[in-house]
Amino acid sequence: MSEKDDFDLQLFLPYLLNQAAEESSLAFQRVYKSRYGMLRTEWRVLFHLGIYGRMTATEIGQRARTHKTKISRAVQRLAERRFLRRDPDERDRRVEHLELTPTGLAAYRDLRAVAQECDAWLVRDLSPDETGQLRRLLVRLAG
């Protein structure tokens, strides 16, 4: 009946990665949530526009591997709060180009600094070598 089982759940990648992802998101989440009332997809959209500049919703969705309904709702909320501006395309009237307002840009810069701090804090116990290794391996896995 209760024979021992040697499957190591803690090392099963989908489990392990989820734990690490949730754990690592906490600190940053507290900031973007309390400081700007944002959700996960919202800071991601904000960052995409902050980093890459003017983009359409579809482009963001592709780059972030996020479903378009999620993007659509995030854009809606960010637009309501004046973090971004919607700019209809002249040639193709289905398309909207999105770009940050000064408010949005300021929020992005603020959160970018926080993100950098969080990231540094997360790897505080790893050597620079190990940190690089970890990121490279994760990129190969997620890419």
Binding site for its own copies (CB under 8 A): 2, 5, 7, 9-25, 28-29, 40, 44, 47-48, 50-54, 65, 112, 115-116, 118-119, 122-123, 125-126, 130, 133-135, 137-142
* Measured distance CA(127)–CA(90) in Å, rounded: 51
Cβ closest to its own copies, residue 93 vs residue 139 = 139
Cα–Cα distance between 5 and 27 in angstroms, integer?
A: 35
What is the spatial distance between Cα 53 and Cα 46, in angstroms, rounded to a whole number? Answer: 10
Least separation in angstroms between CB 106 and DNA? 22
Residues in contact with DNA, shown as a per-residue x/- string from 81 to 110 under the rule CB under 7 A: ----------xxxxxx--------------
Please provide the DSSP assignment of 3-61 as one string.
------GGG-HHHHHHHHHHHHHHHHHHHHHHHH---HHHHHHHHHHHHH-SEEHHHHH
x/- contact string, 3-42, with DNA (CB under 7 A)? Answer: ------------------------------------xxx-
Interaction site with DNA (CB under 7 A):
39-41, 56-58, 67-73, 75-76, 91-96
